[in-house]
Structure formats: structure tokens, C-alpha cells
Structure 1
């Protein structure tokens, strides 16, 4: 028998506690109390239904047409992202707009592109150099610059400085967070005139305008390619869409990979035996260097880091048509949350879920509804392959130079995950490095 939405297990969300512990902890409490199919009821905003089990992810994958990405209803993060970055791929409307933007973006984030390969390798080597000292290295600034170095040149060229790229990434994060908080109490028209949004858009367009001045000298950048694909010279009204798409791709290719690398380095620092295995794999590579395909063990380490600490821990969707889940009827328009965090830590899916064990990913394929750090379905992250290449190349090359460990005095609280816009370490963690007796170049074989 199908039961109505009104009798769905319900968790009353206390606003004061929500502000204190955040949405991810609130979701965990709701699931622990009411089960993994539970309605969150808020005093001042619409309900959210948590679908926190692997079976729910399978339902999503099998009935993808029933779930859409709502970029209009505040205070959803997708709706705030739409205000900030317009028709960028992540925030494009389902349907023709999304298909059009995705078609333009996919070739530009292919890690086989020569310009991307060069930038990924150079950024990895730059990071290795930063560890060539006995001084502690703080991860937030390090990984941010690493990510900017990897994607800014092939995306928008060299006209603007790396420092400007870092500032843009920080501005995006801060503006997003500020507007998310405001969106809970003000309407769309107020947000459209909010100084935070207006100032951010002004800085974004200034960066794009400056970069456009260099596209004749750098015709292979994403900016140059999309400028011509959109025929902006003849259709200047498309310039805003160009800015949204390129800078949306740039932002997404900086923030999440930077945070992912923080987690990878932290997990490896706590597991020196895995660093040794990565080193053994990397030093056996042929002269043409390190790649994703040749480093399955390193890839497994990255995947396990993203299982334990998935940067995107919650995924928002909207029910597009009435659907039955766990014997309950969810009506069209219901906002739902799927959670990599919950599924990745579910002992029914992952034995000893809190243990870092890279061999989980060396024993055959993992069902897609058990593991989805990059989302799933047609709107999964198109930068997944690029991000995995970036992380694997960097960790493998680093393993040939040194071993990393947590700096003396690291507090356990700093290592705890904290969910803001994504899942990041609570503190700015520092690592130290011990050089290998005879560092080996990845290009010397």
C-alpha cells in the first residue's frame, strides 16, 4: 500500500541548532532518529526529504527523468549559483540550455588536451617544489594555488595573473556563502540587487574582459574557443553567457579539486604505507610519464579519499512528477537530498566504513549507487575525469620526491570534516615532508 506524503517520518528542525551545527549534521541526526527516508520540516522554509540510502541512489539512477535540478527555488544552492553564474553548466536549466552548454564544455575539459596536460604536469611539479623544504606547508593556500595553476592558463590564458585567479576563486566562495545565508530570509528581487552579488558580477566581468584582450595570442584557451563558438563578435549580447560558462567552469575546476587534494594529502599523511605503494607504482612507469591509466593504485587512493570525505556531500534535486519511494508518495515539486556522505559511510554498503582502505577499489567494479562523489546520471560533474587525472598525476609525482606527514602540533579538531559549501577540513592543516634519499624524476625512465 502506498502511503501519503503526510505520514512520511518527519524530523522537526530546530533553527538555532541548525545554525550551530549546519545542514549535514542535521541530516545525520534526522537519519539516525527517523531512518534514511525522512522529511526535514523547517519553521521558515519548505520541507526537504532526505533519501539517504544506496537504494535511493539506485532509484534516482533508474528513474532519472523523475528528478530535476531546480535552479529557481531559493534558498537552494543551485538557485543561488544561478544568480552568481547564470547559465554556467552547473546551474543551467534542464533541457535545451543544459545540453547546449554541456556540448560546448565537454571538449574543453578533456584531460587529453595538450594544453591541459601541460598545465596539470606543471602544477604538479610546482607543488612538489613547495614540499622541498623542512618547513611546514599549510594546505589551503597550497592547494588553491595548485588548482589555479592547473586550469587557469588553459581556460582563460595568461593575460591575468595567477593571483587574480586565486582572488576570483576566493570571491566566488565567499559570495556564494554570503548569498546562501541571505537567501533564507529575503526574496529573489532583493538578492538581485544585493551589493554582494553586484560586486561579484562586476569583478567577474572585469576578469573576463581583461582575458579577452589576449585571445588572439592564445587561441586554444577555453575562453577563445567558446568566444568563437558563440560568435560573440557578431552577437555581443552573448558575452554574458560566455562569461558565465567560462568562469563557472573555472570556479568549479578550482574549488572542489583544491579541497579534494587537501583530503588526499591528509589521508596519505596518516597512512605512510599507502605512500610507499604509490611510490612503487610511480617509479615503475615508462619514460612517457605518469597517467591515470597507468596508476590504478594511486587512483584507488584518490577514490578512497573521496569515499571517506566526499567534497560534495549533499546533492539537491526536485521531484518532477509524483513518485513512490519506500512505500510513500512524493508529490511533484518535493525537494529531495541524496547524500554521498551517508551512503559512503553506510556499513551495509562499505564494511568498516571509517577505515581508509584503498584495496576497496582494486577488487573489481563498485556499483554506481554505492559510490558517487561526482554525482550521478546525466548531470554528474563533467570535470570528473579531469579532476581524477589532476589528483593522480600530482600524488604520483609527489611520491617520487618525498613522504608527507602531519606537522607536529596538528590538532585532531582541525582534521574533522566541516560542511559549508563543500566538505573541507575544519582547520588549515599543515604537513611536513621528508625527502627521499635520492629523489627520482618521473621523466627519467
Structure 2
């Protein structure tokens, strides 16, 4: 923590208020009251929130001074590392991370034949599912859509969607359990958490046989990771393969699925853009669909924060920030700042159709720098395909039963709508009766 913390104000919140509002609202309140550089917490345990575009410019120019930290148990980074081990998203800086990045990058290429197939298949499944009067909640549908998009590309046909869906459900539950337990447990105790041990065994029993039977010249992610790490000759690398697979699966499903939920939520309230997507689709163009996805990611980025730790003393805005300080950067707060975006709370996809290049410090829904999301091109392609496909077949609007409070964000694993979102869908290709989609 900074030795001259008087240069930077503190924003403290009671446990009861924190539990009621959630961290995202606490951060918004802190910035509203004190500006875009503020400590959140008490003086014994605080995180420095840097919520200005100039802070992102500083980060880009001094990225080596902001490694990803893992030594604070209440942080998502540490809990994620306990769950995912040497996954790309949780690796420490250095050779471990570089290896994970090098292995993963070609395996999440949207031009991959299996992933292209998954993107098209999941878009058609989404369209069919939304027509089904017995469908589940919209959030579950979006998460299943995201899972379907990558399942075969990652695992082939050896694991069913039901198996993978169950595994991810356990992952989410245990992640939240460990976050809740972290403030009162040490690292070793968390690593021995009974739920964690059971989960790791479940993962190994599910994915282990796929590694043992991986083809030498296969095309799935599990096969290509096994080839690259030569698991037959180096059986100790099996754990790395499992961690990379689980990390990629969790990120690909949860972040992309909730991003689709937000896209549909915004688009349902702006039918004029649905028509523009439809008109462009007839010319085999997707410019507006892509702009809608980007505008949704601007207004409601699912990765609302990313955390780093200062490696050395730094001077920022005239204040000295000590080495070892936990720092939060926030796409959510920068994207909604009127200093960078005119009418920041309005949904205007046209922002992304102009010729002017948007500065990277203004728009970074997939993080920024060398640790940005390795699967961002795949996610953009999946989301754009889904939006384009749905607009060709449906007109949809927000159902009157959707309460305004349901659309306020809740930040846990990511930023999602707080309550159930309901649509009314009108099929453009059949005479089916309009039906609400919950």
C-alpha cells in the first residue's frame, strides 16, 4: 500500500452494505464520490482502483511493472489459481505463462474447422431453442449456447454437453465457496478444501481418459495439447493439459454466454437495430451485428475489472504507489465515462461503424496488453454469428414482466443481469403465436 496514502482518498463500506450492493456498485459509488483513483477497503486491507483512461495508458506503457499477483487470498486471481492450476488465465508471469499462451493461441482460432462448425451449430440450436415453449431460463440457454460452440473443438465427441455442463456448474459453485472462505483461511487450508479436492478428482476422472486416448495427429484441443506437450513421453504434463482445458472451457462458456445475454438484452430494447442487422444479412454483411456486439461489450463488459500487483514503487498522478500494491483496472468504469464516450449510458452501435480508430485505453472488454483474452477473436465471431442469425428469424422485445431491477448488474464470476430477463419473440418465418422467453 502507498506510504503517502493521504494523496489518494479511501472509500470504506460496511459488510452489510457491501453484501447488499455488491462490489461493482461499491466501485461506482467510490468513483462518484472521490474520482477515478481511490482506495477501496480499510487501511489494513485495501485495493487501489484506477478507473481512468490515463491509467490504462500508463499500464500499457509500464506493463512489466504490473504483473498478475497471487499472494492475497481474497483475490479472484489466487482462488482461480487454486482451482485451475497452470491455466493460461492463472499462470504467473514468466515461462509458465508464455508456454500456456503459445499452446493456447492457435487452438482458439475462429477459423478452426471444428470451432467454425461449433459456432454455426450453436447459432442454429439457439434459434430452435428460443422457439421451444418449454425452454429453460434465458441465462441457462446462453450458457449452453456458449458451451455448444466450443465443446467439440475442445473435446471432440467423447464428452456429452450434459457432462460438461455439470462440470462447469460445479466449477462455479466451488469458485464462489473458495472466495467466501478465503478471508478466513490460509492458502494451504484452501487447497485442502473438501469441495475442491472432490472437484479436482471429478475433473481428472472425466478428462484423464481423453488424454490417455488422444490421437497423435488429432484436431481437438485435448489432442493437440497432448501432442505439443508429448504427454506419452512426459506423463507429468497431464496435469498441465487438464488445467489448460478447464481454464479455456470456463472462460469460453461463462464470459461468452453472459456476453450474449447482455447483447440480447440491449438489442431487445432497440428494435431498429434488429432491422438493420436483418437488412445487412440479406447482403451477406455483418457490420451492424459486429457493432452491436462491441457496443454491448462497451456498455456491459462481463469482465468488469482486472487485477494486477505493482512490482516496484511507481509514481502515478503525483502519488507514490508502493511495490506490492493490489490494483484494479476497470473496463466497466472507463467504458461508461462521459469524458471518453458521449452519452455513455446510451446504446449506440454506430460508435463502432465510423472510420476513426478507438483508442485502446477507451475500449478494452477483453483486457489489454499481453495478457488480454486469447480467445477474443473467437468470442467476437460466436457472438456476431448468433446476433446475425437471430435477427434473420426473430423480432424480439423486452417483456413487460421483466423488472427494471433485473437488468441491474451483479458482479460475481462476471457482471451479469441481477434477475430473470424475459423476452417476447415474434418469429418472422412462421405464424407461431408470440411467446415470452424467460
Same fold (TM over 0.5): yes
1:396 and 2:395 matched: no
Q: Deviations over 1:32-80 (max 9, x none)?
A: 222111112337x622111011111111111111111113321110110
Aligned residue pairs, count: 429
Query: In 2, Cα distance between the equivalents of 1:185 and 1:269?
Result: 43
Structure 1, 184-193 or 371-380: larger mean CA deviation? 184-193
TM-score (norm 1): 0.92
Please say if residues 128 and 398 of structure 1, whose CA atoms lie closer than 8 Å, have aligned partners that are also in contact.
yes
Aligned-pair CA distance for 1:416:
1.5
* 1:291 equivalent in structure 2: none
Aligned-pair CA distance for 1:220:
0.8
Aligned-pair CA distance for 1:133:
4.5
Specify every segment of 5 or more residues in structure 1 that has no aligned partner in the other structure, as ranges. 286-293, 440-445
Please say if residues 5 and 331 of structure 1, whose CA atoms lie closer than 8 Å, have aligned partners that are also in contact.
no
Please say if residues 14 and 42 of structure 1, whose CA atoms lie closer than 8 Å, have aligned partners that are also in contact.
no
* 2:38 equivalent in structure 1: 38
Query: In 2, Cα distance between the equivalents of 1:189 and 1:19?
Result: 27
Pick from 413, 416, 426: which aligns with 1:421? 413
Aligned-pair CA distance for 1:137:
6.1
* 2:434 equivalent in structure 1: none
Aligned-pair CA distance for 1:428:
2.5
Query: In 2, Cα distance between the equivalents of 1:195 and 1:137?
Result: 31
Please say if residues 289 and 388 of structure 2, whose CA atoms lie closer than 8 Å, have aligned partners that are also in contact.
yes
* 2:323 equivalent in structure 1: 332
Structure 1, 409-418 or 148-157: larger mean CA deviation? 409-418
Query: In 2, Cα distance between the equivalents of 1:437 and 1:173?
Result: 38
Please say if residues 315 and 375 of structure 1, whose CA atoms lie closer than 8 Å, have aligned partners that are also in contact.
yes
Aligned-pair CA distance for 1:367:
0.8
Query: In 2, Cα distance between the equivalents of 1:40 and 1:398?
Result: 41
Where does 1:242-261 land on structure 2 (aligned, <5 Å)?
242-261=241-260
* 1:412 equivalent in structure 2: 404
Query: In 1, Cα distance between the equivalents of 2:411 and 2:151?
Result: 26
Seen in structure 2, the aligned counterparts of structure 1 residues 196 and 134 have a Cα distance that, compared at 3 Å, is closer
Please say if residues 138 and 431 of structure 1, whose CA atoms lie closer than 8 Å, have aligned partners that are also in contact.
no
Seen in structure 2, the aligned counterparts of structure 1 residues 217 and 126 have a Cα distance that, compared at 3 Å, is farther
Query: In 1, Cα distance between the equivalents of 2:304 and 2:341?
Result: 16
Aligned-pair CA distance for 1:135:
6.6
Specify every segment of 5 or more residues in structure 2 that has no aligned partner in the other structure, as ranges. 432-438
Structure 1, 234-243 or 259-268: larger mean CA deviation? 234-243
* 1:29 equivalent in structure 2: 29
Aligned-pair CA distance for 1:9:
1.5
- Secondary structure in 1 matching 2:184: coil
Aligned-pair CA distance for 1:153:
0.8
Structure 1, 157-166 or 64-73: larger mean CA deviation? 64-73
Please say if residues 49 and 328 of structure 2, whose CA atoms lie closer than 8 Å, have aligned partners that are also in contact.
yes
Q: Deviations over 1:149-195 (max 9, x none)?
A: 10011101111110011112211111111111111111111101111
